[in-house]
Structure 1
Amino acid sequence: MPSTPVRLYGRSLVEGAAQGTLLFADVGLSFWGGVDPVTGEVIDRHHPLSGEHLAGRVLAIPSGRGSCTGSSVLMELISNGHAPAALILAEVDEILALGVLVAEVIFQRSLPVLCIGREAFEGLRGQGFGRVEGNCLTLSGRRPNDQWHGTGTAPQPSMPSSVQLSERDRAMLDGTHGKATQVAMQIVLRMAEIQDADELLDITQAHIDGCIYTGPASLRFAEQWVQWGAKVSVPTTLNSISVDQRRWRELGVDPALGEPASALGDAYMAMGAQLSFSCAPYLLDTAPTAGEQIVWAESNAVVYANSVLGARTQKYPDFLDICIALCGRAPLAGCHLDGPRKAGMIVEVPSLGSVDDSFYPLLGYHIGSLTGRRVPLIHGLENAAPTLDDLKAFGAAFATTSAAPLFHIAGVTPEAMDAAKVLDRDAVLPMETVNTTGLLASWRELNSARHRHVDVVSLGNPHFSLSEFAALSRLCTGRTKHAEVVLAITCGRAVLEQARQAGYLDAIQAFGATLVTDTCWCMLGEPVIPPAATTLMTNSGKYAHYAPGLVGRGVHFASLADCVEAACTATASDHPPQWLRPCAPEEIPSDV
């Protein structure tokens, strides 16, 4: 720790002044699923800060990662007094900055957010106390013995003069189109400043992630917009909400959650959003086409839209999504442009033998942990022919551990059919090679259960597709689950009806499965998960990561077929899949 104060300077994303004990980690943190929005405890059991409380401390992390709902959780923490005193980042993070900006607008409370760059950030390790004043961070070994006081609010800066505005933009900004659109445009322009955008672009559709209930502040936010007369200006779909809106009472959900969570969905529909309630909007008829400029939130949806569909969207924070849907205008930055869609690193995957469907979520989870905010170009899967379900599972797990909004798979994803097109000709890119040692480490990280017994099998994170229903129907035909095991599937209403019409539900319901719409496993808890249950099994890399912190249960991660087998026997294997058992240290087996 420094004996005399050390001053570092950076870019102030949100102005303010605060101080506190420095809480440092060199791993990005997803506030949603990683931080309890009520207490401020870090609940991501895979994170080095697990168990720490953020309130009153100067939190230093490289950036956020994972869910777009991190902005909502941070806003909740600011509103209830359990937020960090300040945020110090190595890289600009729009999701966290947006949570603070919205707290300023709705609650008139704030905290400073300072980006100091990667090199200076590394020097924070082992420091004791930090004080933020505007663009300056002062480090000292202990709290200074002075009468200094921070500020709980920050003045809103004037609109950035560098952003080119159309006549309609100016009309929205001056209130001609109403209070809601005016405030929305103000927030959009503040984000444009953070993203260094000098103009806005028209978007064709939006997908809203802010309809997830994180606490009273999230509902107050939405109801404020309704009171202001907010109406979306582009076709807008809604993400999964926090309950099955039609059946939450039947499922035994506590009204303390069911009522406000349902009301939150109603508030967004009052603004003109469609009743879709799916975390997989790419499964809807409204899915965008290649090159279409859209505004989607929900991390797995963003990654799928950019990577698999070839549409163009940033990883939009909760609340910025609805602001842009109201205006129909978004900052021209990030993945809306060609440059940021280029690869920032190369990942080599060895030759594959016979693998099961647990391979792609595991690979996505592992590669995401290697990339940080860099867009990867993945080689080695050119002849593997991954299905759309494989890419969905890969992308969701990738988005859990990575902050990148996009991946390229050479010869597979549309922009990388010719891999040279996603490479900057003059760039020398870092390279990583996947091996069984790394994949086994990631497999063990996802398999947190301490015994083989299985109480709950969770499927549908992201929401089940029609083809996944078809596969599950085949696996369930002629079988019945163990009487003491819950097997539950989350999906969107539209896909559920398609599966019913196709006849897939007959075998699944005869098997004894529970079908849940509108919400997904990232929001489900007791009593869908029985209070006495200790262990879950899932084929989702995303849920295997989040579940220990969200619901406090150990997890087995495995293929869909293994999940069905465990539902019948109430027992899971404690061994990795056959294809992952190493024959040599640096390669995946070429056969089974």
Structure 2
Amino acid sequence: MVQSQTILSGQVSGPLIATDEALSFWGGVDPTTAQIIDIHHPLHGVCLTGAILVMPTSRGSCTGSGVLLEMILNGRGPGALIFRESEDVLTLGALIAAEMFETPIPVLRLSPDAYETIAASSSAIIGPGFVKHDTGTLAVSPPEIIELELTDEDEAMLAGLGGMAVSQSMRIICRMAAQQGAKRLVDVTQAHIDGCIYASPANLTFADRMADMGAKVRIPTTMNAISVDHSNWRAQGVPATFGDPAARLADAYVTMGCQPTFTCSPYLLDTAPQRGDSIAWAESNAVIFANTVLGARTAKHPDFLDLCIALTGRAPESGVYLSIHRRAQRVIDIEMPDNVDDAFWPLIGYLAGKTSPDRIPLLRGINKVRPSRDDMKALCAAFGTTSAAPMLHIEGITPESDEPLAENADHSVVSRAELVQAWTQLNSGPREIDLVAIGSPHASLQECRNLAQGLKARLGTSSRRPDVSVIVTAGQKVIEDAKADGTIALLKDAGVLIYPDLCWCSISEPVFPSKARALMTNSGKYAHYGPGLSGRPVRFGSLSQCIEAAVTGHIEPGLPTWLQD
């Protein structure tokens, strides 16, 4: 029997805000106003300040921990968090607030019955061992005390042998391990930092504090996309009030020994892990790709925990680090249309996440067409937008898809009608387009080549609409390779702008064209987050549709041919 349990202690009273749908705080909540900005979420427009938020779990970005920390530190945070399922991202943000900034908020995980009772209430009082609600009082167990099997080296780091930053990191890792039910820690061979995105001032506050304590990573550690083009943001007109702290945040992580790779697609680097490697990546799309496609092993580590693990080389041995927790818990049979194009893969990833928001699925029925590496990149990114699961399986395609199902695995179906509904949901924008966004996650070399060749073939000797901006974001390594083979020259000839370091999920005006009124993207991830992040309506479609929009300035409404009856 699942017990109701306190994860992080505290006392608070306030109104309840309950939802059946998980929420990503990054891209879903404005940390300055605490309003929900995800236009696809049923709580869109609701302010969370002071409220007790009740939801099954979180989803989406690992950066949600930084958003929550900022909200807590600026007095805009929720009064408490109540979950039904295991949750790491927001829990870690609340833990950092308590552990490093002495600003705690309660975090509870309730049994299904208790959760339903609380979700139906209008207000609550949380205290030591209880939750008082509209019709009664629920008993809640205190935080679980688990004796971790620490090595001598773990104990030494915890005691401060490696310095203040390492000791602080080990305390945080051990507390997260306890709430995850881990019995021990595991060695990891590399890390990927997501907390270098300037989602809020809290990200810089944390990094500066760790750097001031002398933090230095002890395993190879790459860095996610950042929030500015590091070398050119001043020339691009980015205000110093944003550009300076964003660049300082990146520099702080470099000072701590991280490699300035500045990409949200670390699986495109030469250092990508192999099957069976235990690693510690943050950035949701990268985590899902690593587990799903590469067969590496990493939890979806929240921002801040990523650095703690990089400083110690140790992570909680829980979740998908263990083979038994990598098994599919839901089988999803998909009614796959014929003659699909590249837009099918992010669409089915998005819909698979909605169908399996809190467990690892096995997708069946789509292996009659072999997806490319870029198709899988798009699918994993979209899946991570709508699901909290750190991986998925695709029958006959992904390396662990033939492993036994979990004992409690259930079954679901994605119909053609649901594909149509999801396509319509991601296409709320108008016919007229004045911005085309490519590279969410960062574009691969092949994607850059496909765009360049597609534009060249479509244009011939003519030119495209000059009032339509076309922007590609990509990692430095991909841009270097694209320069070497002439792809960048072709893109520039077609009037395409290519930006390193930042990505669509961190881009801001004026690099994001201020005059843009509506945009087109081939990314299911950005089609979801874009309206809330940019304030513009979005159209979603294939790369060929993006090319058409770039050339003509419009894209006809309606379904793609493969979704038409």
Alignment of 1:495-574 (within 5 A): 495-574=478-557
TM superposition score normalised by structure 1 = 0.92
Tell whether 2:127 aligns with 1:133: yes
Partners of 2:431 and 2:367 in 1: CA distance = 36
Equivalence for 1:460:
439
| Letter aligned with residue 454 of structure 1 | I
- In 1, the alpha carbon distance for the partners of 2:292 and 2:60 equals 16
The separation in 2 between residues aligned to 1:91 and 1:161, in whole angstroms, is: 19
* Unmatched segments (≥5 aa) in structure 1: 1-7, 145-155, 584-592
User: Residue type matched to 1:508 in 2?
Assistant: L
Say if 1:428 and 1:179 are closer, same or farther in 2 by CA, change over 3 A.
Answer: closer
- CA shift for structure 1 position 134: 3.4
Which of 405, 414, 437 is matched with 1:423 structurally? Answer: 405
Aligned counterpart in structure 1 of residue 161 of structure 2, from 154, 176, 180: 176
Equivalent residue in structure 2 for 1:201, among 179, 186, 193:
186
Shift of 1:254: 1.6
Q: Tell me the secondary structure at the aligned position of residue 414 of structure 1.
A: coil
SS in 1 for 2:505: coil
For residue 77 of structure 1, the aligned residue among 46, 71, 79 is 71
Question: 1:473 maps to which residue?
Answer: 452
Q: Give 1:54's aligned residue.
A: 48
Tell me the equivalent position of 2:339: 354
Alpha carbons 2:146, 2:181 under 8 Å: kept: no
2:350 equivalent to 1:365: yes
Query: Does residue 1:485 correspond to 2:468, yes or no?
Result: yes
Question: Which amino acid in structure 2 is aligned with residue 49 of structure 1?
Answer: L
Please name the residue that 1:409 is paired with: 394
SS at match of 2:385: helix
1-structure distance, mates of 2:408, 2:191: 35
- Which whole-Å CA distance do the structure 2 matches of 1:284 and 1:44 have between them? 31
> What is the rounded CA distance, in whole Å, between the counterparts of 2:510 and 2:107 in structure 1?
39
Task: Give the equivalent residue in structure 2 for 1:120.
Answer: 114
Question: Is 1:102 equivalent to 2:93 in the alignment?
Answer: no
CA distance in 2, matches of 1:557, 1:117: 39
- The answer to whether the aligner puts 1:30 opposite 2:24 as a matched pair is yes
Matches within 5 A, 1:201-240: 201-240=186-225
Is the 2:16–2:119 Cα contact (8 Å) retained in structure 1? no
The question of whether the paired residues in 1 share the 8 Å contact of 2:146 and 2:178 is answered with: no
| Residue matched to 1:376 | 361
**CA distance in structure 1 between the partners assigned to 2:299 and 2:3 by the alignment:** 28
CA–CA separation in structure 2 for the residues paired with 1:222 and 1:481: 44
Structure 1 residue 141: Cα displacement: 7.3
| Residue 216 of structure 1: how far off its partner (Å) | 1.7
2:289 to 299, 304, 315: 304
Say which SS state the counterpart of residue 460 (structure 1) adopts. Answer: strand
Asked if structure 2 preserves the Cα contact closer than 8 Å seen for 1:295 and 1:321, the reply is yes
Match of 2:423 in 1: 443
Shift of the alpha carbon at 1:118?
2.8
Residues 449 and 487 in structure 2, CA contact (< 8 A), matched pair in contact too: yes
Cα gap change, 1:192/1:9 in structure 2, threshold over 3 Å: closer, same or farther?
A: closer
Aligned residues between the structures: 556
Question: Any conservation in 2 of the 1:14–1:111 contact (CA below 8 Å)?
Answer: yes
Q: Conserved in 2, the CA contact under 8 Å of 1:69 and 1:210? A: yes
Superposition deviation, residue 528 in structure 1:
2.5
Question: Aligned partners of 2:370 and 2:506: how far apart in 1?
Answer: 32
Partner of 2:511: helix, strand, or coil? Answer: coil
Deviation at 1:112, TM superposition (A): 0.1
Deviation per residue, 1:374-403 (Å, 9 max, x gap) = 100111122211000000000000000000
Q: 1:481 to 1:106 in 2, by over 3 A?
A: farther
C-alpha distance in structure 2 between counterparts of 1:160 and 1:9, whole Å: 15
The C-alpha deviation readout for 1:115-141, integer Å capped at 9, x for no partner, is 103333233344211111134221127
2:314 to 306, 313, 329: 329
**Which residue among 85, 92, 112 is the counterpart of 2:86?**
92
Is contact 1:12–1:135 with CA below 8 Å preserved after alignment?
yes
Q: Is the 8 A contact 1:342 1:375 kept in 2?
A: yes
Amino acid at match of 1:530: P
Structure 1 position 373, deviation (Å): 1.4
Q: Which residue of 1 aligns with 2:33?
A: 39
Alpha-carbon distance between aligned partners in 2 of 1:452 and 1:121, rounded to the nearest angstrom: 44
Amino acid at match of 1:423: L
SS at match of 1:477: helix
Percent of residue pairs bearing the same amino acid type? 46
Contact 1:197 1:331 survives alignment (8 Å): yes
Name the residue aligned to 2:298: 313
Partner-residue secondary structure (3-state), 2:442: coil
- Say yes or no: does 1:494 pair with 2:477: yes
- Confirm or deny: 8 A CA contact 2:173 2:309 kept in the other structure: yes
Measured in 2, the distance between the counterparts of 1:541 and 1:93 equals 24
Report if aligned partners of 2:335, 2:416 keep a CA contact under 8 Å in 1.
no
2:337–2:416 Cα contact (<8 Å) kept: no
Question: Once structures 1 and 2 are overlaid, which stretch shifts more, 236-245 or 473-482?
Answer: 473-482
- The structure-2 alpha-carbon separation of the partners of 1:500 and 1:438, relative to structure 1 and needing over 3 Å to count, comes to same
**Partners in 2 of 1:198 and 1:294 — Cα distance?**
18
The alignment partner of 1:495 has SS state of helix
The CA distance in 1 between the partners of 2:408 and 2:169, in whole Å, is 40
